Amino acid sequence: MTEIALDPIARKRGEELVLDELLDLRLYERLRAVSRGGLADMLDRLVAVEAKHYKFWLDLFPIQRPRLDWARRIKLDLLTVVCRLTGPSAVMLVLEGIEIYGIRKYLNLWDIYQNTPFGKAIKDVLMDEFEHEDEIVSSFSGGKISPERVRGIFLGFNDGLVEILGAVGGFFTALREPRLVIGASIAVAVAGALSMGAGAFASTSSEREIRRIQRGKARFLGRHEGDPMLSGSLETGLMVGVSYIVGALVPVLPVLFGSENVVLSVVCGGVATVVVSSILAFLSGMDVRRRILLNLAVIALAVGVTSAIGGLVHTLWGVSL
């Protein structure tokens, strides 16, 4: 293939594409080696498609002995371990995350370079992504799970973490007594979990009713509508409520184990935020660093504001022992 004459920025992006495709190819190969049945057949087909994409970009942007950098190697090892431990459901979720990330990346590049020679190459790969790879993944019926369910779990965890971390900061400033902080935080966490679970239950029930009406309308008109994968309303509510409680425990546990200020809770919350933000960013296709920075900023704001309010309450009413 003839090499395209591009500016240094476009060439750098092209080399990044080579390494991204190499990462996907190595991941599919590893997952194929530990898969069986229909999942293995699907991964065989994906390996063939990804090998074609990798060769396409490598011919376009030649790199001497292309190797994954340390960040991509860590990502490859982490995804491999998670998929091996949790089985086909995790594999399908990872494949969806990779697909979302890849399409978002190519569409962003297409917006920038669509009127250049680089744009033609991006369009060819995008067509393959939209048609071929999507068909391969959709044809596999085993081990599918609802991505919305997984996102709901992590979002519930994230909400519990951020809200109760902010509450712990405010309670420490106002109450100045760890045992009171624990009691108040647990009360708020339980109320928040019930509220989140009830909200998830109501929204899922409404969505299922709307889907039922749409299917009835389609049947009346002689059309066939696929039945989307929706979790049960009660199941969704319970999962979101429980994940909220688990997230809320992160900032409360340091206090239970003897911490007398909010510092250790903030550190634990920050670490958990980085992990959860990375997972949510991967599943939604959002830029990982942007998601992490956004969540850390929200935590800093929540702790700062609630601590200020707690200090004001303590000063005005002396709410401490």
For every residue of 118-140, DSSP letters joined together read: HHHHHHHHHHHIIIIIHHHHHT-
CB atoms within 10 A of CB 18: 21
State the burial class of residue 281 (Cβ atoms within 10 Å of its Cβ: 0-12, 13-18, 19+): buried
C-alpha 124/C-alpha 137 separation (Å) is 19
pLDDT of residue 26: 92
Using an 8 Å Cβ cutoff, are 91 and 31 in contact? Answer: yes
Domain 8-138 has CATH 1.20.1260: yes
CB atoms within 10 A of CB 130: 13
pLDDT of residue 143: 45
C-alpha 267/C-alpha 287 separation (Å) is 23
* Mean pLDDT per 10-residue segment, the chain (321 residues): 60 82 90 82 86 83 80 88 80 78 78 77 73 59 55 81 88 84 89 85 76 71 59 76 90 89 87 81 71 82 84 70 43
What letter does residue 3 receive in the DSSP assignment? P
Using an 8 Å Cβ cutoff, are 297 and 283 in contact? Answer: no
For every residue of 97-121, DSSP letters joined together read: HHHHHHHHHHHHHHHHHTTSHHHHH
Q: Pick the closest to residue 276 from 288, 265, 267, 264 (CA basis).
A: 288
Domains of the chain by residue range: 8-138, 147-317
C-alpha 74/C-alpha 1 separation (Å) is 32
User: Tokens at residue 11, please?
Assistant: 């060439």
Burial code of 136-172, b = ≥16 C-beta within 10 A, e = fewer? bbeebeebeeebbbbebbbbbbbbbbbbbbbbbbbbb
Q: Is the pTM of this model over 0.75?
A: no
pLDDT of residue 149: 66
